[in-house]
Structure 1
Amino acid sequence: MQIAASTKISALIKENPAAIEAIASINKHFEKLRNPLLRKVLASRVTIADAARIGGCEVERFYEKLAPLGFTVAAGKSTESMAQPVYTSNAELPAFLANLPAERLRRLDVCADIATGNDPFRKIMAAVDKVEENSALLLINTFEPTPLMAILKKKGYSYFTEEKSPDLVHTYFWRNGAAEPLAEESIKPAENNFEDTLARFAGKVKRVDVRHLEMPQPMVTILGELEKLPAGEALYVVHKRVPQFLLPQLDERGFHVAINEVGPNEVYLLIYREPTSEV
């Protein structure tokens, strides 16, 4: 496979899964690729050039690590400019979107919400719930909303994403037949007594504070901590809000969540698995 600075990390991994270890060995910034949960969130929207900037290294380091795996640099691309690339979508719009009249496309821009630290979850879900048959919602965001896509796919919605730039992603949602209503209770955590649950895990709690992180880094950090959390222990998260995008993913993976909403911009989460009884 020929590669360039604009090649997506996900494309490298799809071509040869050994690329995960090759990239992870460059420096500690890329070790998160070994975590399948974080890899799903990050790899699909990061190019080699983006990753090099994140890791503070040269693009050539990627070429060196990937060469033994059979990757070759496209002619004329080994010294290509590191200026911000022009992003265009290589994928064609699905027929439904291509033929959709402009007046049937609703737009929701949540970039300002993300920039100011406001959680747009409820605003997005309210907009999606208003999508009728033969119409669609265009969500304008700063990153690919992977958790939201997973939630809505299960509810009978189709989606399509276009990366306009490293910090601008257009995601379209439309009903795939009779979509299931987006009942709010389906995304709420189980009812738990926070203090009682915390007492159960006395001395077996790992604490992490994600209040200073920008979306989607809180979710990425929490999933990373859970991946290495020892059995029988709980993760105590200090957050600015209840992470609605994260809750369904935790439920899918068998985690329980106890929540203590202390006040504005201060929420405590206790994430744990119930111990399995031995026979």
Structure 2
Amino acid sequence: MMNESGCHSEGPSMPEALRNIPEDRRVVLDVRDQVRAGEEPFQRIMQTVMSLKDDQAFVLYNIFEPIPLYGVLAQRGFTHWTQKRGPQDWCITFYRAGEQAATAPAPSAAPGPAAPAGDAIVVDARGLEPPQPMAKILENLPRIAAGGHILAMTDRRPMLLYPKLEERGFSFSTEETTHGWFETRIWK
């Protein structure tokens, strides 16, 4: 059976936890036209995610599989079920599954030890449009000396940066400043 958004709402591969979420508890966002127009949908996606209630699922339509988003939303306690419906036609349902998801830590505090004290390499990526802040921060990672760290300043919480830092073995922590920007400390 297809629901009003076109995703298969039943079937042997659908996880039981998702099957138990009623259609009226699923929030749908279609970013296909936005992506085809060359626009970045991340802000709209995160606004939608932030507006979800604990018992709601998020259904995303995209023209490609948004693999980096899986890690970003996993840090917020979501798991996903992905369906490729055709060429450039993906339906991804994000949902909270069980007690572990309800208690998942927020991505603002990364696991691991505190950032080293001392002088930091400052990377000011404020005022740049995505993905430029992430690119600027990543290109500066080789500059971190033993015991050193980077202080990156961004206009937004750098959600897509976190999985890339983890892949490269870096620790990090992000805090929102009283001035409205975000400071991310990155170290080995």
Q: What range is the shorter-chain TM-score in?
A: 0.5 to 0.7
| Alignment check: 8 A CA contact 1:106 1:137 kept | yes
Larger proportion of helix: 1
1:171 aligns with 2:95: no
Give the direction of change, closer, same or farther, for the CA distance of 1:119–1:96 in structure 2 (3 Å limit): closer
**Given the alignment, which residue of 154, 160, 167 partners 1:239?**
154
Q: Deviations over 1:114-163 (max 9, x none)?
A: 758846436315538424xxxx5312357644343135568573421548
Alignment match, 1:201: 119
* CA positional deviation for 1:96: 1.9
Amino acid at match of 1:123: T
CA shift at 1:255, angstroms? 0.8
User: Could you list the runs of 5+ residues in structure 2 that have no partner in the other structure?
Assistant: 1-10
Shift of 1:200: 0.3
Q: For this pair of structures, how many residues does the alignment match?
A: 163
Q: For residue 101 of structure 2, give the secondary structure of its aligned residue in structure 1.
A: coil
How far, CA to CA, are the matches of 2:70 and 2:42 in structure 1?
Answer: 21
Contact residue 28 and residue 60 of structure 2 kept, 8 A: yes
* 1:188 to 2:130 alignment: no
- Give the Å deviation of 1:220: 5.0
Instruction: Say which structure, 1 or 2, has more relative contact order (CA 8 Å, 6+ apart).
Output: 2
The alpha carbon displacement at 1:211 in A equals 3.5
Identify the residue that residue 148 of structure 1 maps to in structure 2.
69
Deviation at 1:222, TM superposition (A): 3.2
Other structure's SS at 2:128 match: coil
Q: In structure 2, how many angstroms separate the alpha carbons of the residues matched to 1:139 and 1:259?
A: 28
Name the CA distance, whole Å, in 1 between partners of 2:58 and 2:80: 11
TM-score (norm 1): 0.41
Distance 2:13 2:103 in 1: 29
2: CA distance between counterparts of 1:142 and 1:220? 23
CA RMSD in angstroms comes to 4.6
Indicate the residue corresponding to 1:256 in structure 2.
Answer: 172
Q: Which residue of 1 aligns with 2:46?
A: 121
Query: How far 1:180 moved relative to its partner?
Result: 2.0
The structure with the greater share of residues assigned to strand is 2
Please point out which of 9, 13, 16 is paired with 1:95. 13
Deviations 1:196-245 (A, max 9, x none): x796025xx1525264222x55445534543x344333223231122245
- What one-letter code is carried by the residue in structure 1 that aligns with 2:152? V
Q: Are residues 183 and 256 of structure 1, via their aligned partners in 2, closer, same or farther at CA, if it must alter by over 3 Å?
A: same
CA distance in 2, matches of 1:240, 1:256: 17
For 1:7, the equivalent position in structure 2 comes to none
User: How far, CA to CA, are the matches of 1:260 and 1:212 in structure 2?
Assistant: 17
Query: Is 1:139–2:67 an aligned residue pair?
Result: no
Counterpart contact for 2:173–2:186, Cα < 8 Å? yes
Percent identity between the two aligned chains: 21
| Larger Cα-atom Rg | 1
- Residue 107 of structure 1: aligned partner: 27
Change (3 A) 1:165 1:174: same
Q: Name the CA shift for 1:249/1:163 in 2 (closer, same or farther; >3 Å).
A: farther
> 2:82–2:90: 8 Å Cα contact kept in structure 1?
no
Partner of 1:81: none
- In structure 1, what is the Cα distance between the partners aligned to 2:145 and 2:83? 37
